[in-house]
């Protein structure tokens, strides 16, 4: 799911991939897969920081583990709710530190 329509690029690498530019259509598709017994395993969240919390919740509620860069949430008290949903669903939130702007990475490219 990406609001940027990358038709012709993504499907050239993954011709069988389902692609959506609207979250609501992605939500419906994910729900259909889950109901058929073929839920998505992981959701990689690459959205603005203020959307991380709701997109993590979406992943967990759809029986998928979430992979999200930091910060997971904007307010520390929201982490407790994510932990509760992890327990309820048996799915996990995995966090990564985004280093694309780290000075040492620039030095590697030189």
* Chain mean pLDDT for the chain: 88
Strands (E), the chain: 42-45, 65-69, 93-96
Q: Contact, 62 vs 40, CB < 8 A?
A: yes
89, pLDDT greater than 70: yes
What pLDDT score was predicted for residue 12?
A: 82
Average pLDDT score over residue span 92-99: 85
Cis? peptide before 71, omega within 30° of 0 = yes
pTM: 0.81
Q: Could you tell me the CATH superfamily of domain 40-110? A: NAD(P)-binding Rossmann-like Domain (3.40.50.720)
Q: How far apart are CA 82 and CA 48, in angstroms?
A: 18
97 or 7, higher pLDDT: 97
pLDDT in tens, 29-57: 999 999 999 999 999 998 899 999 999 99
What pLDDT score was predicted for residue 26?
A: 94
7, pLDDT greater than 80: no
Average pLDDT score over residue span 90-105: 81
21 or 87, higher pLDDT: 87
* Domains of the chain by residue range: 1-39, 40-110
């Amino acid at each position: 799911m990406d609001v940027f329509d990358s038709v012709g690029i993504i499907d050239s690498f993954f011709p069988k991939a389902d692609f959506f530019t609207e979250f609501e259509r992605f939500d419906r598709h994910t729900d259909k897969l889950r109901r058929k017994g073929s839920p998505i395993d992981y959701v990689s969240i690459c959205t603005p920081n203020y959307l991380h919390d709701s997109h993590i919740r979406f992943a967990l509620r759809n029986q998928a583990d979430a992979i999200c860069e930091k910060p997971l949430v904007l307010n520390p008290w929201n982490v407790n709710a994510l932990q509760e949903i992890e327990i309820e669903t048996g799915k996990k939130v995995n966090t990564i530190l985004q280093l694309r702007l780290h000075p040492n990475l620039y030095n590697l490219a030189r």
